[in-house]
Chains A and B, each alone.
Chain A
Amino acid sequence: MHKPTSIKPLPLVLAIALVAVGVASFTIRGHAAAGSLTKTLVRLDRLSYTTAVGGRVCAQAATVGTEAKVAVTFPTAAATDYTLSATLANWAATGVADAALGASAWPGLSATNATSVSGHTVTWAAGDLTVGTLYCFQFAGGLTTANNNTENSPGNVQTQDAGSTPIDTGNFSIGLGNSGSDQVAITGATVPPTFTFALSGTTDTFASNLKLNQWVATSGKTVTITTNAANGYVLWAKDFQNNGNIGSLKSTTANSYITTASAVGSAAHTYSVGAADYGLDASITTNGSATTTATAAYNGTGGTKIGVLDPVNFQQVATATAPTASDVITLVEKASAAVTTKAANDYADTITFVGAGLF
């Protein structure tokens, strides 16, 4: 088959009709001259229903042009639709790079308010884009999501020139969560309370016979404490041998006490020449929590002081105000004899140490 009619003169009416068709076709083509974005992404910060959100917009230009604006038209939804704030400052936008998407920061946007909000469309003045490069920007807010995930029409991102002529357009869908919830709660995870307490030994022997002119110290024992108590812990001590409500060394064979002249609860004291004395020197060897201190009553202050032991009540020896992975407190007993102290080789005492966490 071929087209013999092509050589015939056209009647005037037909010619006009063809011209009209040509004009119509031209108009449609002109509208379609704008291109399609190679990539379009709109990611809202939240995907729950009826929630005020900001979001990220990314687009990759396909058509060479001088972009000067970007307009985002959000989807329309059934029932309660997306709503857009009319306050331009609520839409402040900043170009951001996105490593996961391989995107560069959208040029010309730095806390830039929208220039217009009309219907579902927000427009910003923005910079020129390079074809083939994906760009992103983050808008701070301004959008309230719909109360359902049925989109009557998708959204679109459109780049425009300074005269608002479209350059590229790309559609997108939001995808609110099916149930309107986009969050997972982690609740009630429990870190159980822990407290460990360990003495390095239960017998502490004086290094030599007691002397008249100076303290003689035991070799010392340590107590190691670990706890996750939020408010730390307390280490207490209570003495066994009681001489006038003051903790003492006692010789059973001589029926004699070595007792300090200081009072229970007084600050740790230094050695007094010629006096019978007995007490506890507490020092912090390892301060795991950085909050652990020996109490004033037993702080040995570098081995120069001792505190009076209490046979009636537990007395605080050391405290911490935070959890500790491993506090080490060294406990040394010290004693001296007076010239009237009865001779015996069985002066002894028992001290009970107790710790507890402050959860």
Chain B
Amino acid sequence: MRHFHLTSMLLGGLLFAAVPTSTNYTLNNYGFGSGGTANSTSTNYGLNATTGQPASNQQTSTNYTVRPGLQQAQQAYVPVAPTFTNPSSYYNKLKFVLNPGASPSDTKFSIAVSTDNFVTTKYVQLDDTLGASKVYQTYANWGGASGQTLIGLTYSTTYQMKANAMQTNFTETEYGPAASASTVAPTINYDIDTSAADTETASPYAVSFTSLLPGTVVTGTQRIWLDLNTNAVSGAGIYIRDANGGLKSNTANSTITSATANLAVASSGFGAQGASATQGSGGPMTITAPYNVAAQNVGIIDTTIRQIFSTTAPVTAGRTSLYLMAKSSSTTKAANDYGDTLTLTVAGVF
């Protein structure tokens, strides 16, 4: 293309070395087109061609550039701004969908990205990371209408994105207008509630038991509820541990030891049973073994930090709950100060 254009310019210089002038006007550049064909085909060949060109100096303003010259038989449109969004509180990625307009399907696009309005520019690579080199792909290969996700980004940062188009080898357009989208900070937060019903409660959090009659499985009067919200891309876990490895009486120096067990069968014991796991969106929240049990089965609570709920994806309005169950035996020392301290923590997998 460049070579052809150079030749055209040289020919123009030779043929019209003396520009036409009058008293009031000077025609600096001029030319005339020649015949051509827009689309000529045979069994084995196709031709998209025109000959000749209008010509003038390039004209620019702040927002527009006019580059008159050879008009290609088929050429891409300058792409309008991509659809560039953060649909799910992403902190390290953003979604984009190219807008190809009416460009032919074999048009290829490169996508420029910047955080400083293109003072510095990077380009979307084949693996959807950012790199220094322009990468051209068709609209379909950039994900088509579904788009793709730009990854490896920095949290809490606004990115600008724009695309250009290239149809065959000599028709690269300017980059079109830019769209912007922002990443957010990685976040995780949770809250504990202790209540018989699903309701918010304030700290201090406590669970009580009615009398632990020997041989009787008793469920804590309150459930422990946990709220979880996180945009951690690989989800999060909720963890539980305790101080005593069971319910302990200091006065009787006695412990109802916790274990993973069916309390209907075991002579005594203490543990937790996952009761519910829901979410507003994302997730889903699930109950982790050995707490994903029913009836009078429980999972161990001891001084080891153990995962009790989890999700493998970001979650909004995650809400889980667990029961505490205990059973004393005929030889469990009588006392009225059996107690424990549970610590519930969360961690996101960002």
User: In the complex, which of the residues A40, A45, A226 has the most CB atoms of chain B within 10 Å of its own CB atom?
Assistant: A40
* Given contacts A28-B120, A171-B350, A189-B339, A182 and B333 within 8 Å (CB-CB): no
Q: Is B279 an interface residue (CB 8 A)?
A: no
In the complex the two chains form, is A190's CB within 8 Å of B211's CB? Answer: yes
Q: How many angstroms between the C-alpha atoms of A268 and B306 in the bound complex?
A: 58
In the complex the two chains form, is B214's CB within 8 Å of A171's CB? Answer: no
Among B58, B155, B170, B334, the residue within 8 A (CB) of A230 is B334
- What bracket does the count of chain B residues touching chain A fall in? 35 or more
In the complex the two chains form, is A3's CB within 8 Å of B67's CB? Answer: yes
Residues of B within 8 A of A228 (CB): 214, 328-334
User: In the complex, which of the residues B72, B224, B335 has the most CB atoms of chain A within 10 Å of its own CB atom?
Assistant: B335
Q: How many angstroms between the C-alpha atoms of A229 and B331 in the bound complex?
A: 8
* Given contacts A4-B5, A29-B122, A190-B338, A173 and B343 within 8 Å (CB-CB): no
* Given contacts A183-B341, A194-B214, A323-B330, A175 and B346 within 8 Å (CB-CB): yes
In the complex the two chains form, is B336's CB within 8 Å of A188's CB? Answer: yes
Residues of A within 8 A of B152 (CB): 35-36
Measured between C-beta atoms, what is the minimum distance from A281 to chain B in Å?
27
In the complex the two chains form, is B350's CB within 8 Å of A230's CB? Answer: no
In the complex the two chains form, is A186's CB within 8 Å of B337's CB? Answer: no
* Given contacts A2-B171, A175-B230, A181-B204, A100 and B192 within 8 Å (CB-CB): no
Q: 1/0 per residue B310-330: CB within 8 Å of A?
A: 100000000000001010111
Closest residue on chain A to residue B206 by CB atoms: A185
Residues of B within 8 A of A181 (CB): 192, 203-205
Closest residue on chain A to residue B268 by CB atoms: A191
Closest residue on chain A to residue B151 by CB atoms: A36
Q: Is A90 an interface residue (CB 8 A)?
A: no
* Given contacts A41-B348, A175-B230, A230-B335, A191 and B249 within 8 Å (CB-CB): yes
Interface residue SS majority, chain A: mixed
Residues of A within 8 A of B117 (CB): none
In the complex the two chains form, is B5's CB within 8 Å of A7's CB? Answer: yes
* Given contacts A4-B67, A46-B345, A192-B334, A187 and B254 within 8 Å (CB-CB): no
Q: Is B110 an interface residue (CB 8 A)?
A: no
Q: Is B92 an interface residue (CB 8 A)?
A: yes
Measured between C-beta atoms, what is the minimum distance from A102 to chain B in Å?
11
Measured between C-beta atoms, what is the minimum distance from A66 to chain B in Å?
21
Residues of B within 8 A of A153 (CB): 185
Q: How many angstroms between the C-alpha atoms of A41 and B236 in the bound complex?
A: 9
Q: Is B198 an interface residue (CB 8 A)?
A: no
Residues of A within 8 A of B224 (CB): 184
Measured between C-beta atoms, what is the minimum distance from A101 to chain B in Å?
7
Q: Could you tell me which residues of chain A, from 1 to 30, have a CB within 8 Å of some CB in chain B?
A: 1-7, 24-26, 28-29
* Given contacts A29-B131, A154-B186, A173-B186, A186 and B341 within 8 Å (CB-CB): yes
Q: Is B266 an interface residue (CB 8 A)?
A: no
Measured between C-beta atoms, what is the minimum distance from A134 to chain B in Å?
9
In the complex the two chains form, is B191's CB within 8 Å of A177's CB? Answer: yes
* Given contacts A185-B205, A189-B209, A172 and B350 within 8 Å (CB-CB): yes
Closest residue on chain A to residue B133 by CB atoms: A29
Measured between C-beta atoms, what is the minimum distance from B29 to chain A in Å?
12
Q: How many angstroms between the C-alpha atoms of A322 and B253 in the bound complex?
A: 12
Closest residue on chain B to residue A187 by CB atoms: B339
Measured between C-beta atoms, what is the minimum distance from B288 to chain A in Å?
7
Q: How many angstroms between the C-alpha atoms of A168 and B253 in the bound complex?
A: 51
Measured between C-beta atoms, what is the minimum distance from A264 to chain B in Å?
33
Closest residue on chain B to residue A288 by CB atoms: B331
In the complex the two chains form, is B330's CB within 8 Å of A183's CB? Answer: no
In the complex the two chains form, is A189's CB within 8 Å of B208's CB? Answer: yes
In the complex the two chains form, is A2's CB within 8 Å of B121's CB? Answer: no
Measured between C-beta atoms, what is the minimum distance from B269 to chain A in Å?
13
A and B contact pairs by CB, cutoff 8 A, 16 listed = A4-B58, A4-B69, A25-B121, A32-B122, A47-B190, A101-B237, A153-B185, A171-B92, A173-B186, A174-B188, A181-B203, A183-B205, A183-B341, A183-B342, A187-B208, A288-B331
- Ranked nearest first, the 4 interchain pairs of A and B with the lowest CB-CB distance are A43-B347, A175-B188, A189-B338, A181-B203
Question: Which residues on B are within 8 Å of A, measured CB to CB?
Answer: 1-2, 5-6, 58, 65, 67, 69-70, 72, 75, 78, 91-92, 120-122, 130-132, 151-152, 155, 170-174, 185-192, 194, 202-209, 211-214, 220, 224, 230, 232, 234, 237, 239, 247, 249, 252-254, 256, 288, 305-307, 310, 324, 326, 328-350
Known: A185-B207, A191-B212, A325-B331. 13 other contacts (CB 8 A): A1-B67, A2-B1, A24-B120, A26-B132, A41-B348, A44-B345, A45-B345, A172-B350, A175-B187, A186-B341, A191-B211, A191-B214, A228-B329
Question: Which residues on A are within 8 Å of B, measured CB to CB?
Answer: 1-7, 24-26, 28-29, 32, 35-36, 39-47, 56, 58, 100-101, 149, 151, 153-154, 170-175, 177-194, 226, 228-230, 288-289, 322-326, 359
